[in-house]
C-alpha cells in the first residue's frame, strides 16, 4: 500500500537544457502516508514558495542554471530526490560589435541592401564626419560609402522617414524633400548609385503635413505606402495606398481608415499587417492593429486590439512598430510590449504559421 509509511519517490525530476526565455517545469511523483509536503532546493538552498510536487520556472536566464532537488516529507520521515540539472544555454559571444557610425541629427529609418550596405535616412546634416543631408549609405563595417550622396533638399527637420530596397536594388524613399534637384512630394526612388529614378514620380499630398511613415515592397514589385495623407498620386487615398512598380496608383487597393498609419509588415502568405493610431479600418472596428488578406479584404478573424497602457513618450496611443519573428515566444525585453505565446496567438487571433507578431507600443525613431 503506497498510502502508508514514510515518503518515497517513484518518479524522479529530469534535468533539462533550454535556451534563455523559455519555461521549465520539474516534476516528481511521491508516495507515502498523507500529508506529504514538498520543498524544492537549488544548489542545496531552499527556494521560496516552491512547495508543490512540481516546480515551474518562467523566462529562465543564466542565473537559473544549477542543481535542483526536492525534499518530500510526512510525519514518518523524509526523502530527497535525485539531482536534476538545469542548463540555460546563454550565448558565450558577448563581444560588443565595432559598428559605431556617428550622425549629427536623428535617424528615422534604415534599409539593408543585398550587398550588406546600409541605407540611412532621417533628419541629419552629417554622417560619419561627412556632410549628408538626411540620406546616406554605410559600408558593412560602418564606414561611409563616399559614392552615395544624393541631393536631398527640404525643410529641416522633415527629411527622410521611410526606406525600402526593391528586388532590383533601387531604393524607395519616403519623407518630405526634393531629390536630384527635382521636386518629389514625400516619396521618390533612387537608382543603386544614388541617382534619381526619373521614371518614378508619384506624389503624396493632403492635410497640413502629409508624410510617408512606411514603405513595403511586395513580391510582385507593387509598393505599399502608408502614413498621413489624403491623396496618392492625385488619387483619393487616406493614409494607405499601393503603387504599381511604375509609380501609378493601384486602383484595386483602396482601404478606408480613420487615423494615421505608422507601420506596415508583409507576411509570407501575402497578408498585410497594419499598425497605427486608428480605431476603424475597412469599415470595421480595429483598435490600432489590423490585417488585410492578400486580396485586400479585411481579415475578419484577426482582431487582437491593443491597449492604451504604457504608451510613453510621446503619449500617442497606437501600435507604432510591427515585426515578424520566427521564434516561439514574443519578448519585449525592457520595452512595453504585448506578449503572446503561439498558443494564445492561435486562440485569440489567427495562427501566423511559423511567424509571430511583435507589437511595440512605443514611439520609435525608425518608422519604416
Which of 254, 270, 299 represents a domain boundary (last residue)? 254
Q: Are residues 152 and 226 in the same domain?
A: yes
Closest CA to 169 of 214, 122, 115: 115
End-to-end CA distance of the chain: 67
Residue with cell 537544457: 17
The domain containing residue 40 runs over which residues? Answer: 8-88
Q: Are residues 84 and 109 in the same domain?
A: no
CA distance 207 to 229: 6
CA distance 108 to 263: 13
* CATH classification of the domain holding 37: 2.60.40.10
The pLDDT tens digits for 290-304 are 999 999 999 999 998
Q: Are residues 138 and 247 in the same domain?
A: yes
Q: Residue 292 belongs to what H/E stretch?
A: strand 289-292
Q: Are residues 130 and 244 in the same domain?
A: yes
Model confidence, pTM: 0.65
CA distance 240 to 136: 27
CA distance 167 to 223: 12
Residue 130's beta-bridge partner residues? 127
Do residues 211 and 228 lie in contact, with contact meaning Cβ atoms separated by under 8 Å? yes
Q: What angle do CA 288, 360, 97 make, to 5 degrees?
A: 155
Give the 3-state secondary structure of residue 344: helix
Is residue 357 assigned to a domain? no
Q: Are residues 114 and 172 in the same domain?
A: yes
Q: Of 132 and 359, which is predicted with more confidence?
A: 132
CA distance 198 to 110: 23
Q: Are residues 123 and 67 in the same domain?
A: no
Q: What is the mean pLDDT of residues 14-38?
A: 94
CA distance 276 to 226: 10
Q: Of 351 and 22, which is predicted with more confidence?
A: 22
Is residue 46 assigned to a domain? yes
- pLDDT-based confidence at 4, cuts 50/70/90? confident
Q: Into how many domains does the chain fold?
A: 2
CA distance 17 to 155: 55
Q: Are residues 107 and 82 in the same domain?
A: no
Amino acid at each position: 500500500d503506497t498510502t502508508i509509511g514514510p515518503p518515497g519517490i517513484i518518479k524522479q525530476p529530469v534535468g533539462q537544457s533550454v535556451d534563455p526565455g523559455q519555461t521549465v517545469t520539474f516534476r516528481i511523483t511521491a508516495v507515502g502516508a498523507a500529508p506529504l509536503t514538498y520543498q524544492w532546493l537549488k544548489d542545496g538552498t531552499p527556494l521560496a514558495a516552491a512547495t508543490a510536487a512540481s516546480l515551474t520556472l518562467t523566462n529562465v536566464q543564466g542565473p537559473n542554471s544549477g542543481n535542483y532537488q526536492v525534499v518530500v516529507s510526512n510525519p514518518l520521515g523524509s526523502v530527497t530526490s535525485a539531482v536534476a540539472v538545469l542548463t540555460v544555454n546563454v550565448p558565450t559571444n558577448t563581444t560588443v560589435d565595432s559598428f559605431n557610425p556617428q550622425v549629427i541629427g536623428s535617424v528615422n529609418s534604415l534599409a539593408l541592401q543585398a550587398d550588406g550596405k546600409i541605407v540611412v535616412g532621417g533628419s541629419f546634416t552629417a554622417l560619419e564626419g561627412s556632410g549628408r543631408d538626411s540620406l546616406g549609405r554605410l559600408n558593412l563595417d560602418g564606414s561611409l560609402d563616399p559614392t552615395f550622396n544624393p541631393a536631398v533638399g527640404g525643410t529641416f527637420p522633415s527629411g527622410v522617414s521611410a526606406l525600402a530596397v526593391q528586388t532590383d536594388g533601387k531604393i524607395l524613399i519616403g519623407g518630405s524633400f526634393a531629390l536630384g534637384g527635382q521636386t518629389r512630394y514625400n516619396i521618390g526612388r533612387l537608382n543603386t548609385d544614388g541617382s534619381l529614378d526619373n521614371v518614378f514620380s508619384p506624389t503624396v499630398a493632403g492635410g497640413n503635413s502629409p508624410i510617408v511613415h512606411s514603405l513595403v515592397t511586395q513580391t510582385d514589385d507593387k509598393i505599399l505606402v502608408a502614413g498621413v495623407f489624403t491623396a496618392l498620386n492625385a488619387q483619393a487615398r487616406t493614409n494607405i495606398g499601393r503603387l504599381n512598380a511604375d509609380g501609378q496608383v493601384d486602383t484595386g487597393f483602396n482601404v478606408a481608415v480613420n487615423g494615421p498609419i505608422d507601420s506596415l509588415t508583409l507576411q509570407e502568405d501575402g497578408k498585410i499587417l497594419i499598425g497605427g493610431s486608428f480605431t476603424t479600418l475597412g469599415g470595421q472596428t480595429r483598435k490600432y492593429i489590423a490585417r488585410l488578406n492578400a486580396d485586400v479584404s479585411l481579415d475578419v478573424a484577426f482582431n487582437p486590439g491593443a491597449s492604451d497602457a504604457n504608451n510613453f513618450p510621446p503619449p500617442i496611443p497606437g501600435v507604432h512598430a510591427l515585426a515578424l519573428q520566427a521564434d516561439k515566444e514574443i519578448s519585449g525585453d525592457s520595452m512595453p510590449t504585448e506578449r503572446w505565446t503561439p498558443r494564445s496567438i492561435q486562440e485569440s487571433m489567427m495562427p501566423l504559421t511559423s511567424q509571430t507578431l511583435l507589437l511595440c507600443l512605443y514611439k520609435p525613431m525608425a518608422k519604416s
